[in-house]
Structures are given as C-alpha cells and as structure tokens.
C-alpha cells in the first residue's frame, strides 16, 4: 500500500517553515500532497492559484510532491486522494494542543486517518504566515522567511 500523506493549510504565503516541514517529511511517505484549503471564513492575501503555483515551482521535478486546492473537511480530502496520513507542523506547545484537538476530531470522523506531527527547526519557530503577512502589509522585508520563488514574485 502506498503511503500517501496530506499536508493541509492555507499557505498564505508559503514560508520557509512550511518548506522545512515538507522537506523533512518527504522520506517518510511515498507521496506528499500539499492541500491548499479554501476556508470561507478567511480572506487570503494571495489568490489560491498563486499559492498553488509557488509550491509547484518549489517542488517541480519532485515526483513525490503534488499540490491541490480543496474545500470542505480535511478527512474528506484524504478519502478522495487515498491519504491515510495528515501532516502538521508544530512550533509551540499551544500549537500541539490545538492540532491535537483537530487530529482527534479527524480520527473520530475517519479512523483510518492518522495525524503525524513534526516540530519545526528552532530557526523557524517564529515563522508564521500571519506574522509574515503583517510584515508584508507594512512594507517590511520578509525575505528571510520566504523561499526565493515566493519572495521574488511578491517583490515584482
């Protein structure tokens, strides 16, 4: 059985922290699907297609990485793509508490979906998309938090 994992998120924007989690998770799975979730209660700074393109550009040539846009429950997306694993990155203890509650809910909805937590490297602990968006909105330099592809595109 192929080990397929879904890494869900808004990735608004895709950061070096996201890249770190994906890069370290790749050896664990046969395929890693980055799922850009559409959340009607959130108004993203960057369009869905732009975020999809950034991630595709970063991982072009890597056959293990696929990128999709999805709506609805994460477990339903897992069912559609055949994923039995959900990947989540953890920066702080309070991230774990929040993510564990989601993992428990997902498991109650589908007992065949297991959540895998990876802690971020210490240098990425403060890299959160919310903070990066604030830096960008106020004209700050976010280049230290973004992959080159994303940074170049934002600064065009």
Q: Which residues have CB under 8 Å from 110's CB, separation 6+? A: 75, 78, 79
Say if CB 70 and CB 35 are below 8 A apart: yes
Q: Which of 91, 100, 107, 133 is catalytic?
A: 91
The first and second tokens of residue 42, run together, are 């959130």
CA-closest candidate to residue 118, choices 29, 10, 2: 29
Is 76 a catalytic site residue?
no
Q: Which of 3, 42, 80, 152 is catalytic?
A: 42
Is 152 a catalytic site residue?
no
Is 129 a catalytic site residue?
yes
Q: Which of 18, 19, 51, 88 is catalytic?
A: 18
- Cα angle, residue 104 at apex, residues 45 and 109 outer, rounded to 5°: 90
Is 143 a catalytic site residue?
no
How far is Cα 150 from Cα 152, in angstroms, rounded to an integer? 6
User: What angle, 0 to 180 degrees and rounded to 10, lies between the N-to-C axes of helices 93-109 and 74-81?
Assistant: 60
Q: Which of 19, 51, 88, 129 is catalytic?
A: 129
The residues annotated with a catalytic role in the active site are: 18, 42, 91, 129
């Amino acid at each position: 059985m192929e080990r397929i994992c879904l890494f869900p998120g808004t990735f608004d924007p895709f950061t070096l922290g996201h890249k770190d989690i994906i890069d370290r998770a790749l050896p664990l799975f046969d395929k890693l699907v980055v799922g850009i979730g559409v959340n009607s209660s959130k108004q993203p700074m960057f369009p869905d297609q732009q975020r999809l393109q950034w991630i595709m550009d970063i991982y072009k040539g890597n056959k293990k990485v696929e990128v999709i846009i999805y709506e609805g429950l994460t477990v339903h997306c897992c069912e559609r793509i055949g994923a039995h694993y959900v990947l989540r990155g953890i920066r702080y203890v309070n991230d774990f508490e929040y993510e564990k509650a989601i993992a428990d809910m997902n498991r109650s909805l589908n007992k065949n979906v297991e959540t895998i937590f990876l802690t971020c490297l210490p240098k990425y602990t403060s890299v959160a998309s919310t903070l990066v968006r604030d830096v960008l909105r106020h004209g700050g330099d976010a280049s230290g938090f973004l992959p080159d592809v994303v940074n170049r595109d934002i600064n065009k």
